[in-house]
Chains A and B, each alone.
Chain A
């Protein structure tokens, strides 16, 4: 009995020794670094940013990484003004923004934007035409789509949201969004709103989806990772981390980490499509 337990310990430690380097390699680059790294912007990025920050900070106690939201527009603005080190955006920064602030863009994942409804909603497929009708307010009752007789509540994001920009361009073809639509402030808030509203419809980053909301197929194509990857589901965008000028020091290391095998693995685990 005792022998067995010793054996287990020995085998386990050997395993640890063998496995540790594969996990730790990318983190080794941070050796000897210290200081604070401030990240803000796109809310779709947050799960990956938090996981990466957690892993780095556990290994290297002298590094502090803060992750804030605010939306893509805010991320670009804050990094441009030098308020944060990395500004995330769920859309490619506009040429004017890149030029004015001297931004460097790093695209580290691809993310779909999915139409979502409450899981209690029986409707799980819409045509693009119907979707445009719903968001412009022309179709305002679920019964018009074969659902329950209740008014549709449309949720949308503010104009600075990258998720909104992509959804508006690629799913609504730049069509109108009704003035009656309710506004929420982040991908997380969108998920909460739709999860709590049996008659709601909205759109979130595919990476944020879980069982509290139900995805809606668009023209018969489900917003699955697979469909986004092979391009069938085209309401997708790159996830960018932007820096002001060429990144150095901790900022550089963090971006390298996002693009390393481990960083890309985190992105994949959180439901995004790695670029490498």
Chain B
């Protein structure tokens, strides 16, 4: 009786797992299939390397790939020191009350809708950057700063988890040897937690790569690849959002699928990187 129940439960869950895996594969298949006319209609390389100029029949997405990388990498670079500091304070350096308040705040941040950050960015950050640093205001830097705030909870929570999962006997041993808080953190906890922390960085980067709204609202969406932090840029997700209104049968619309494939590749690379790091550290069986 209980055995048959178990078999049923097992098969149901197995089917669920298969289904979700199949859906992901099917999406990839669809994108490639629907993007095929683009490959047949024009030079395949032109899509990945050329400029975007629909009026001249050019549907290159390289400027958007470049824009995506610029914005996501700058966001991660801004986010990293912030997250390191916050997680250090929450795990070991801060007083008990401060830790609690900060921890609650970070968890609260995960629930703030993206559009709020975007809105704040438009009315506060864009004019601030335009006035004090220069450029049009809507640029890589503006989107990068806002995005850094958006992805920081992911990074911070990952850092905290990895730091706290360090075997407490190591920490106590260091304490017995006379190491103070900072020494215990820097020489015992961080080296042991570095694997988990790197995967936190990569996951946060993945989130930055996939975010649509912040870049759409704050980066200016110009169709030229950025050459600096103060230049406008268009990310792949923002590009999809802007072009999705085009005619279904147009090559313009088809190019969305090339963007999808590119984003998919980014996500895959990030995931593989996480797996490799974790495996090296033998965290994952």
Q: Are A197 and B137 in contact (CB under 8 A)?
A: yes
B140 CB to closest chain A CB (Å) equals 13
For A41, the closest partner residue in chain B by CB is: B245
With most chain A CB atoms within 10 A of its CB, the pick from B221, B231, B252 is: B221
Q: How far is the CA of A179 from the CA of B67 in the complex (A)?
A: 13
Q: Are A197 and B222 in contact (CB under 8 A)?
A: no
- B15 at interface, CB cutoff 8 A: no
B229-248 vs A, CB cutoff 8 Å, 1 = contact: the mask equals 00110100000011111111
Contact of B232 among A182, A196, A197, A200 (CB under 8 A): A182
Q: Are B224 and A180 in contact (CB under 8 A)?
A: yes
Contact of B130 among A158, A180, A197 (CB under 8 A): A197
Q: Are B222 and A179 in contact (CB under 8 A)?
A: yes
Q: Are A73 and B245 in contact (CB under 8 A)?
A: yes
Q: Which of B46-73 contact A (CB under 8 A)?
A: 51, 53-54
- B90 at interface, CB cutoff 8 A: no
Contact of B245 among A71, A182, A196, A199 (CB under 8 A): A71
- A139 at interface, CB cutoff 8 A: no
- B38 at interface, CB cutoff 8 A: no
- A30 at interface, CB cutoff 8 A: no
With most chain A CB atoms within 10 A of its CB, the pick from B136, B234, B245, B246 is: B245
- A185 at interface, CB cutoff 8 A: yes
- A241 at interface, CB cutoff 8 A: no
Given the complex, which residues of B lie within 8 Å of A180, measured CB to CB? Answer: 222, 224, 231-232
Which A residues fall within an 8 A CB radius of B?
Answer: 70-74, 77, 97, 151, 153, 158-160, 179-185, 192-193, 196-197, 199-200
A136 CB to closest chain B CB (Å) equals 13
Q: Are B247 and A77 in contact (CB under 8 A)?
A: yes
- B122 at interface, CB cutoff 8 A: yes
Given A153-B136, A179-B222, A185 contacting B247 (CB threshold 8 A): no
For B51, the closest partner residue in chain A by CB is: A179
For B130, the closest partner residue in chain A by CB is: A197
Q: Are A182 and B221 in contact (CB under 8 A)?
A: yes
| 26 pairs, A vs B, C-beta closer than 8 Å | A71-B245, A72-B245, A73-B245, A73-B246, A73-B247, A74-B245, A77-B247, A153-B137, A158-B242, A158-B243, A158-B245, A159-B54, A159-B252, A160-B243, A179-B53, A179-B222, A181-B223, A182-B136, A182-B138, A182-B221, A185-B242, A192-B122, A197-B127, A197-B130, A197-B136, A200-B136
Q: Are B224 and A179 in contact (CB under 8 A)?
A: yes
Q: How far is the CA of A160 from the CA of B241 in the complex (A)?
A: 11
Q: Are A196 and B221 in contact (CB under 8 A)?
A: no
Q: Are B223 and A179 in contact (CB under 8 A)?
A: yes
Given the complex, which residues of B lie within 8 Å of A73, measured CB to CB? Answer: 245-247
Interface SS, B side? loop
Q: Are B244 and A74 in contact (CB under 8 A)?
A: yes
- Taking A160-B243, A183-B221 as known contacts, 7 extra A-B pairs with beta carbons closer than 8 A to each other, sorted by chain A number, are A70-B245, A74-B245, A179-B222, A182-B232, A184-B221, A193-B138, A197-B130
Given A158-B242, A197-B136, A182 contacting B126 (CB threshold 8 A): no
- B123 at interface, CB cutoff 8 A: yes
B135 CB to closest chain A CB (Å) equals 8
For A182, the closest partner residue in chain B by CB is: B220
Q: How far is the CA of A103 from the CA of B54 in the complex (A)?
A: 25
Given A179-B223, A183-B234, A160 contacting B137 (CB threshold 8 A): no
B107-132 vs A, CB cutoff 8 Å, 1 = contact: the mask equals 00000000000000011001100100
Q: How far is the CA of A74 from the CA of B224 in the complex (A)?
A: 24
A259 CB to closest chain B CB (Å) equals 26
- B150 at interface, CB cutoff 8 A: no
Given the complex, which residues of B lie within 8 Å of A197, measured CB to CB? Answer: 127, 130, 136-137
- B151 at interface, CB cutoff 8 A: no
- B216 at interface, CB cutoff 8 A: yes
Q: How far is the CA of A193 from the CA of B220 in the complex (A)?
A: 10
For B234, the closest partner residue in chain A by CB is: A183
A244 CB to closest chain B CB (Å) equals 15
A145 CB to closest chain B CB (Å) equals 17
For A189, the closest partner residue in chain B by CB is: B217
Given the complex, which residues of A lie within 8 Å of B231, measured CB to CB? Answer: 180
Q: Are B127 and A196 in contact (CB under 8 A)?
A: yes
Given A74-B245, A159-B243, A197-B136, A182 contacting B123 (CB threshold 8 A): no
For B232, the closest partner residue in chain A by CB is: A182
> Nearest 6 CB-CB pairs, A to B?
A160-B245, A183-B221, A74-B245, A73-B245, A182-B220, A179-B224
For B134, the closest partner residue in chain A by CB is: A151
Given the complex, which residues of B lie within 8 Å of A179, measured CB to CB? Answer: 51, 53, 222-224
Given the complex, which residues of A lie within 8 Å of B138, measured CB to CB? Answer: 182, 193
Given the complex, which residues of A lie within 8 Å of B136, measured CB to CB? Answer: 151, 153, 182, 197, 199-200
Given the complex, which residues of B lie within 8 Å of A184, measured CB to CB? Answer: 221
Q: How far is the CA of A179 from the CA of B222 in the complex (A)?
A: 6
Given the complex, which residues of A lie within 8 Å of B245, measured CB to CB? Answer: 70-74, 77, 158, 160
Given the complex, which residues of B lie within 8 Å of A158, measured CB to CB? Answer: 242-243, 245
Given the complex, which residues of A lie within 8 Å of B244, measured CB to CB? Answer: 74
A42 CB to closest chain B CB (Å) equals 11
